[in-house]
Homo-oligomer: A and B are copies of this chain.
Amino acid sequence: MHEHIAAVPLDKAFRLLNHGPTILVSARHDGVDDVMAASWACALDFDPPKLTVVLDKIARTRDLVEQSGRFVIQVPTVAQLELTYQVGHRSLHTVPDKLVRSGVELFGIDGQALPFVAGCSAWLACRLIPESHNQQTYDLFIAEVVGAWADTRVFRDGHWHFERADPALRSLHYIAGGRFYAIGEALDADTHTQG
C-alpha cells in the first residue's frame, strides 16, 4: 500500500462522500478490470455505512459490478482531471485499452480482491446489496461500505483538510461539457446556537 494511505474507521466513511465529489467506480470480474466516472453517488447510511450509485446499462463497469457483487468508489483529485473525464467518456466495449489510454494505474489493498485507482484521495470498498427493482428500473445500486481508506495528506483524524493540503489533492465536482469545479474554501457554522 502506498505510504500516505491509511484506513478510515467505517463510522467516518460517509465523510469521504458527504461533500458530493465526482467519483470513480472500479470493478473486477473474471480477469477484466474497468473504471468509470460518476457524479451520481451518494451516502445512504452512517453505520454500517451504505451508499447509492447510478450505473447506466451501457457501462461495462456495471456488468462487472453485477457479476462480482463488489466494487470500489474512489475520490479523484484535481491532478486527475483529465483521467476522470476520459474514463467517463471512453467505454471498455469499444476501447479495449481504455485504462492505459486514460492514464489509470491500479493497485491492490491486502485482503481486497478489487482494483483500486492510484492517485485518488479516498477509497471505499463496497459490497452490493442486490435490489433488482432499483437496478432495473432506475439503474440505482445500493451497497454496504466494507472498507475505507484515505490519503493522509488530505484526510486524517476523520476530517478532510483541503484548506491545508496541496490544491492538486482537492476533489472534483462535475457539471457537464468538460466543466468541473474543485472544492473550495472551508467555512465553519456556529455550532453553539441553542434551541
Contact = CB atoms under 8 A, between A and B. Distances in A.
Interface of A: 15, 18-22, 39-45, 50, 52, 54, 78, 81-82, 84-86, 89-90, 95, 101, 133-134, 138-140, 142, 158-160, 162, 170, 172-191, 193, 195
Contacts of A195: 90, 95, 101
Contact of A19 (B134, B139, B173, B191): B173
Given A20-B39, A173-B183, A178-B188, 7 more contacts: A40-B42, A85-B191, A86-B189, A90-B195, A159-B176, A179-B188, A183-B184
Contacts of A185: 181-182, 184
A95 to B, nearest CB: 6
Contacts of A19: 20, 39, 173-175, 181
Contacts of A20: 19-22, 39, 42, 173
By secondary structure, the A interface counts as: mixed
8 contacts: A18-B174, A19-B175, A39-B43, A52-B52, A81-B189, A86-B189, A180-B187, A182-B187
A85 to B, nearest CB: 3
Contacts of A50: 138
